[in-house]
Amino acid sequence: DAGVIQSPRHEVTEMGQEVTLRCKPISGHDYLFWYRQTMMRGLELLIYFNNNVPIDDSGMPEDRFSAKMPNASFSTLKIQPSEPRDSAVYFCASSFRAISYEQYFGPGTRLTVT
Amino acid sequence: LAKTTQPISMDSYEGQEVNITCSHNNIATNDYITWYQQFPSQGPRFIIQGYKTKVTNEVASLFIPADRKSSTLSLPRVSLSDTAVYYCLVDGGGYNKLIFGAGTRLAVHP
């Protein structure tokens, strides 16, 4: 398996623009997680899905952020409109329910909002 | 979820054994202790997990005393490539939500 795949790897956009980050989890994993990492706040869990259903979105910072998982092999994290304070590295991770502690992280998307 | 406390940073030299201790005074009965490693510009990677006593794999060992209020990650004979941030997490086994703290930044010198 290729592991968790994220795209794009880097994104530079202007304030006010819509940003869509994409993730393909490892096949067979039924949990998917979105994290954000900054120097100031460290690694934060934004939202996670189980069998394509959002379970906990308490970490989503505000209504500008939304996440979807239309099927078992694809998820998106959308920011609309984007702001400079959204600049961070966004990670997607997946895990198999029987091994809940072992999450597999993707390479991340480095987002810069100017 | 139990809170963890670990040193902000550590320094070591190639070939030495490194021990990183994490305290989790409020650990619950069903909590497991998990360690992750993160290299620059990469996502975190699972290293090891344990519940009590000692666990060893090809990468590290995890020592957990009987009261489980702390744990120690042991990296034998570190190399420059072990320079990374190491996170100690405590989660309620079966509950998938992992909370990452600040981690310990390990620097291995030649």
pLDDT in tens, B17-73: 999 999 999 888 888 899 999 999 899 999 999 999 999 999 999 999 999 999 999
**What's at B9, amino acid-wise?**
S
What pLDDT shows up at residue B28?
A: 85
Please report which confidence band the pLDDT of residue A100 belongs to, taking 50, 70 and 90 as the band edges: low
**Are B93 and A100 inside 8 Å of each other by CB?**
yes
What pLDDT shows up at residue B2?
A: 61
**Are A101 and B41 inside 8 Å of each other by CB?**
no
What pLDDT shows up at residue B100?
A: 82
Whether the predicted pLDDT of B96 surpasses 70:
no
Query: How distant is the Cα of A73 from the closest Cα of chain B, in angstroms?
Result: 19
Q: Chain B within 8 Å of A103 (Cβ-Cβ)?
A: yes
Which structure tokens are listed for A102?
Answer: 């072992």
Whether the predicted pLDDT of B105 surpasses 80:
yes
**C-alpha closest to that of B11 among B20, B2, B3:** B20
SS (H, E, C) A38-102: ECCCEEEEEEEEECCEEEECCCCCCCCEEEEEEECCEEEEEECCCCHHHCEEEEEEEECHHHCCC
B96: nearest CB among A100, A106, A107? A100
Q: Chain B within 8 Å of A95 (Cβ-Cβ)?
A: yes
What pLDDT shows up at residue B47?
A: 95
B45 contacts on A by Cβ (under 8 Å)? 105
